[in-house]
């Protein structure tokens, strides 16, 4: 028994020193200030429609600057020419042979997938020629928007010609 007493005492001393060497728990940080209330769905819709109208006007004027600011870095444009990213889209706008005589946008609808993803759909009625090709006079358009860093960015756009009404 006497042989075990120094061993037990050494073990107890070792465990005590380990427990004293541990960091003391720090107080939990104060909670972050509560975020601003989320934008209402009506305000989001108004905001997305305004962005879309601004982009149509920029396209009409062959001005890529609003697109550069509004398109996400990973944007995907879908057209009869294929799929293109942001750089190709900006170049196509600047070098466009299209003449936009008139256009109107209507029948807007926003579908929310979550708090940071929304799909804007609408009808475009237009009088546009690109080179010698007349663009379909009515198309159904969709633009997918993503909320990143508090700003809505256009992540995808596509248009489908409307079928002829009987």
The reported pLDDT for the residue numbered 80 is: 77
Which residues, at least 6 apart from 68, have a Cβ–Cβ distance to it below 8 Å? 86, 90
Distance, CA of 160 to CA of 79 (rounded, Å): 9
- Model's pTM, two decimal places? 0.74
- What's the total number of domains in the chain? 1
Q: Flag whether 83 is in a domain.
A: yes
Distance, CA of 63 to CA of 67 (rounded, Å): 8
The reported pLDDT for the residue numbered 19 is: 42
Range of the domain at 48: 41-161
Compute mean pLDDT per 10 residues along the chain, 166 residues long, and list them: 45 40 49 60 96 96 96 91 92 92 97 96 96 94 96 96 75
Q: Flag whether 80 is in a domain.
A: yes
* Measured distance between the N- and C-terminal CA atoms of the chain, rounded to whole angstroms: 105
Distance, CA of 21 to CA of 143 (rounded, Å): 58
User: At CA 85, angle to CA 56 and CA 73, rounded to 5?
Assistant: 85
Q: Flag whether 24 is in a domain.
A: no
The reported pLDDT for the residue numbered 15 is: 39
What is the residue whose two structure tokens read 């002829």?
164
Q: What is the CATH number of the domain that holds 99?
A: 3.10.450.50
């Amino acid at each position: 028994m006497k042989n075990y007493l120094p061993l037990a005492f050494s073990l107890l001393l070792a465990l005590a020193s380990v427990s004293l060497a541990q960091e003391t728990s720090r107080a939990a940080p104060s909670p972050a200030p509560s975020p601003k209330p989320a934008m209402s769905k009506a305000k989001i819709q108004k905001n997305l429609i305004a962005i879309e109208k601004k982009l149509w006007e920029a396209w009409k004027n062959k001005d890529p600057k609003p697109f550069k600011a509004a398109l996400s870095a990973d944007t995907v444009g879908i057209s009869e020419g294929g799929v293109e990213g942001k750089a190709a889209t900006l170049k196509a706008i600047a070098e466009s042979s299209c003449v936009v005589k008139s256009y109107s946008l209507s029948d807007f609808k926003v579908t929310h997938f979550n708090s940071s993803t929304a799909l804007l759909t609408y009808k475009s009625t237009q009088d546009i020629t690109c080179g010698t090709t007349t663009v379909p006079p009515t198309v159904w358009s969709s633009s997918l928007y993503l909320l990143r860093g508090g700003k809505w960015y256009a992540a995808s756009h596509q248009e489908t010609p409307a079928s002829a009404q009987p």
